[in-house]
Structure 1
Amino acid sequence: MTESSRPSAVRASNDAVAATDHARLPTGVLEADPLDRAMLGAFAQCVRAHGGGAVADLGCGAGRTTAYLDGLGIRAFGVDLSPALVAVARRSYPGLRFEVGRTTSVDVADGVLGGVVARYPAAHPPPDEPDAVFAEFARVLAPGGYALVAFAAGEDRSAPDPSHGQGRPAAPDAYGTPPARLAELLAGAGLTEVGRLVRRPGGDEAGPQGLLLTRKPPVG
């Protein structure tokens, strides 16, 4: 799949399943597991301690993680490539801000965000194009800001989700990333690792899942 065709495939797949996925899943990705909640809480505490700047939830889907952050006292807004998922998020959480956009070109000025949360597939660009995504995290973060990345902690490229059959577009391939490699890529963009967590898969997850907390170095 080419770089230009992948965003269209992701958008088509997510648009096709927006309503059914929202109805089926009781929780969002980051708050579905107690360990995930602990990392999300640590991220929120770090952002608040550094001044509580706005946080972008990239790949926000139906908006549940954005709303969870809001409940933790974080000024969060969501960005997703899928207009259908953004529409679901806006209906479900009318008091929060949701926008259609790409992870590689977030519509905010340089150095203004207190934090970034990136989840599947925002944290899993194809192996030949991660630099633009992680460089965008560094661009939008204020000095001292934090990025929390949720990812599949593995080596293998997964097959398309078979549940996307029956006339619906197939989901594009996802990419697993070893934690050390992801930390290395984020470091290359100027983000320093603060901590990481890798847990066993739960529910429909195919393999180990990871959360990596990084920080843009503060000034001085």
Structure 2
Amino acid sequence: MKDLDRQIAYWDTAGAAKTFTHPLDFGWLAGADRSARVLDYGCGYGRTMAELSGHGFSRVCGVDLSPALIARGRRSRPDLEFTVLEDPPLLPYSSASFDVIVLFAVLTCIPDDGAQRAPVAELIRVLAPGGLLYVSDMVLQDDARNRERYAAHAAGFGTPYGVFTTGDGAVCRHHTPARLRSLLSGLDLVHERPIDVTTMNGNPSRALQLLARKP
């Protein structure tokens, strides 16, 4: 599952041209100092990094496993700090290095249960006590098209229900809200809200955002 849970070939080709849309709720970050140390894990081309910078956060950095997406980000925002993640999920930072961590539409790109837990554990390691982990990810959809592809993938490959393959070759996962909450066990859940998003392939979809604090 290691290659499947990274899919670098996809993100360096078809995925490198995608547009990402999960919205940041800056009301959730109203109490964060603008000098807070902020990490965007799975930053892609830096869309959320740019938004954070535009709202006054001055110490924002991002990591992603795709060199192509990082190169796109550096071209569009050379003022921001982008790093290629060489050995995901391991981060080149000491423990308690960040006050705010953003994890947007990353878990959907990691089909396997254990492979999802590993980056969350690493993010909790580098999050300072009292720091915030802001997660936005896809939930199970209830339309016939999605139900059929969830069932087909589970039957064909033995993957968890909710895993599917997109038309252009990415293997993705949609989650129950309980699954997303369980990944944040050990943190204190501060906020939760369902949202409507447009997927990277242009389809309307439902997602869930969660804000959790490290004790």
TM tier relative to shorter chain: 0.7 to 0.9
TM score, norm. by length of structure 2: 0.79
Q: Which residue of 2 aligns with 1:88?
A: 72
Instruction: Give matches, 1:62-211, under 5 Å.
Output: 62-74=45-57, 75-101=59-85, 104-122=89-107, 125=110, 126-154=112-140, 156-162=161-167, 164=168, 170-171=169-170, 173-187=171-185, 190-202=186-198, 204-205=202-203, 207-211=205-209
- CA distance, structure 2, for counterparts of residue 186 and residue 19 of structure 1: 28
Per-residue CA distance 1:173-198 (angstroms, 9 max, x = gap): 211122232112211xx211101111
Q: Which amino acid is the alignment partner of residue 113 of structure 2? A: P
- CA distance, structure 1, for counterparts of residue 97 and residue 81 of structure 2: 17
TM-superposed deviation, 1:205: 3.7
TM-superposed deviation, 1:56: 0.8
CA RMSD of aligned residues (A): 2.2
Give 5+ residue unaligned stretches, structure 1: 31-35, 165-169
Partner SS state of residue 96, structure 2: coil
- CA distance, structure 1, for counterparts of residue 96 and residue 207 of structure 2: 29
How many residues end up aligned between the 2 structures? Answer: 191
Partner SS state of residue 44, structure 1: coil
TM score, norm. by length of structure 1: 0.78
- Say if 1:58 and 1:103, in contact at 8 Å, map to a contact too: no
TM-superposed deviation, 1:123: 5.9
Per-residue CA distance 1:46-71 (angstroms, 9 max, x = gap): 322xx742111111111111111111
Q: Which amino acid is the alignment partner of residue 79 of structure 1? A: V
TM-superposed deviation, 1:137: 1.5
TM-superposed deviation, 1:14: 0.8
- Say if 2:108 and 2:137, in contact at 8 Å, map to a contact too: yes
Give 5+ residue unaligned stretches, structure 2: 142-160
Report the structure, 1 or 2, having the larger helix content: 1
Q: Which amino acid is the alignment partner of residue 161 of structure 1? A: T
Partner SS state of residue 147, structure 1: strand
- Say if 2:108 and 2:173, in contact at 8 Å, map to a contact too: no
Q: 1:103 to 1:213 in 2, by over 3 A?
A: farther
- CA distance, structure 1, for counterparts of residue 42 and residue 65 of structure 2: 7
Q: Which residue of 1 aligns with 2:21?
A: 29
Identity of aligned residues (%): 31
